[in-house]
Amino acid sequence: MYTSNSGIKVIVVGAGFGGLTAAIECHRQGHNVEIYESFPELKVLGDIISFGSNAGRIFHRWGNGDVVARLRPMCIDIQNYGFRIHKWDTGEVVYHQKREPPSADAPVLNGHRGELHEVIFNYARDDLGIPIHLGQRVLEYFEDEDSAGIVLKDGQKIVGDVVIAADGVRSKARELVLGYVDKPKSSGYAVWRAWFSNKDMIADPQTKEFCENGDTFNGWIGPDVHFLFSTIKGGKDCCWVLTHKDDHDIDESWSFPGKIEEVLEVLKDWDPVCKAIVEKTPALVDWKLVYRDPLPTWISSKGRISLLGDSAHPFLPTSAQGATQAMEDGVSIAICLKRAGKGQVPAALKTHQEVRYDRVRAVQKTGESTRDLWHKTNWSEVKENPKSIGFPREDWIHQFDCEKNTEDMFEGIFKSYAEPVGNGSETSLLSAETSRAAAVP
């Protein structure tokens, strides 16, 4: 479904999952869209990333299932294996969580962030022909009553109707758009994370079971620490993340190296299998988990620049929804712009924010609640009710169809933001939608 041209020029800053989705969805909704991204070339960066079925539903609509067909072989398949939750010290499996039956139109897709990112990047650029300008760091944002734009490092100015600032957790736009510096806070936790081949794992009788019979997913839950380990691509690739207490310096980076010895120190009284896995890790990243108070607004004062994705709302990994929520933002903003029309961009962005704000906050909170559920486990309770330690999978998050929701909510919210349109000559302000409605007696 591609709508005819809306005449709206959208500038997207950032080609992460948030920016790419916003651009793809703007293209679907008939806007003219271009992306400006600071990295000079595409690199396969990161490690495991999760997309819930509410993101799968968005991917599924791209190329009528083509995009999902490209992503699926890269993603973990634990239909048979499920998720096995162990007690940290004894190693016993306290709960075996079964997977939901697979859904064709809303698949769950968890895999290597860089590999999945490359597929989406190529889909936007090569299949849809969306211009993606690499090596273009945005230094400034500007707007007036009729337009908004960016200034690039070389001084070049780009002007459009609306700017979507999807520039990530270290957003520069946040400060420029909001007019103040929003300091990150430490969440009190950090995550060590690694992705590596199974070569040494299959050589060790203690660990080879994870690599010989297809994909696996195991978690060890302990006091204030949890260790998640998965094998992907039929057991070929191994990946783990270990969340632990950390109160010192904050560095929001993906490439900060971590030390194996420190990980082994945390795991010293743990199930020896954990140590056997970590010992085989060639390199790891230490990622401090920062936290931000919810921003009062994602939208600039004149209403033509919007933060989107991590720049508007960073997530804790225990929500497993950060990238998914960034994608939902992209769907919503593209629809609001289409429904509102070129003359009503500020009202479109306000409507988008209101469609999204409460949902995003509620999903953000699940990151904390899941972490606390695991880190403060009452083991006698788990004995009585093993299910209570399972990864919460809530329908209001996963069964959600962002496209349908935005279409349904739009009119009721937009009414209160739409600029009054004159009842005579000022028809240029009328959106295509309203003029069509007005044409019907």
Ligand X SMILES: Cc1cc2nc3c(=O)[nH]c(=O)nc-3n(C[C@H](O)[C@H](O)[C@H](O)COP(=O)(O)OP(=O)(O)OC[C@H]3O[C@@H](n4cnc5c(N)ncnc54)[C@H](O)[C@@H]3O)c2cc1C
Active site residue 292: no
Q: Which of 193, 292, 304, 371 is catalytic?
A: 193
420 burial type by CB count under 10 A (0-12 exposed, 13-18 middle, 19+ buried): exposed
Q: Per-residue x/- marks for ligand X, 352-391, CB under 6 A?
A: ----------------------------------------
- Specify the 3-state DSSP secondary structure of 164: strand
Number of residues that bind ligand X (CB under 6 A): 30
Interface with ligand X, residue 13, by CB under 6 A: yes
Q: Which is nearer to ligand X, 16 or 149 (CB)?
A: 16
Complex with ligand NAG: residue 255 or 378, whichever CB lies closer? 378
Q: Does 18 bind ligand X (CB under 6 A)?
A: yes
What are the start-end ranges of the H helices in 101-172?
113-122
**Segment interacting with ligand NAG, rule: CB under 6 A, options 28-36, 108-116, 298-306, 374-382:** 374-382
Q: Is 143 helix (H, G, I), strand (E, B) or coil?
A: strand
Q: Residue 272 CB: number of other CB atoms within 10 A?
A: 10
- DSSP β-ladder status, 305-307 and 162-165: parallel
Q: Tokens 């082994």 correspond to what residue? A: 264
**Is residue 184 part of the contact set for ligand X (CB under 6 A)?**
no
Q: Two tokens at 12? A: 């997207």
Cα–Cα distance list, 125 to 128, 236, 252, 308, 433 (Å): 6, 30, 28, 20, 29
Q: How far apart are the first and last CA of the chain?
A: 28
Q: Which of 423, 425, 439, 440 binds ligand NAG (CB under 6 A)?
A: 423
* DSSP label at residue 101: P
Site string for ligand X, 127-146 (x = CB under 6 A): ----------xx--------
Pairwise CA distance, residues 290 & 72, whole Å: 30
For position 156 contacting ligand NAG by CB under 6 A, the verdict is no
Region of 122-130, 199-207, 263-271, 321-329 interacting with ligand X (CB under 6 A): 321-329
Return the residues of window 284-323 that contact ligand NAG according to CB under 6 A: none
How many residues contact ligand NAG, by CB under 6 A? 5
Q: Which residues are the active-site residues? A: 193
Residues that bind ligand NAG (CB under 6 A): 378, 380-381, 420, 423
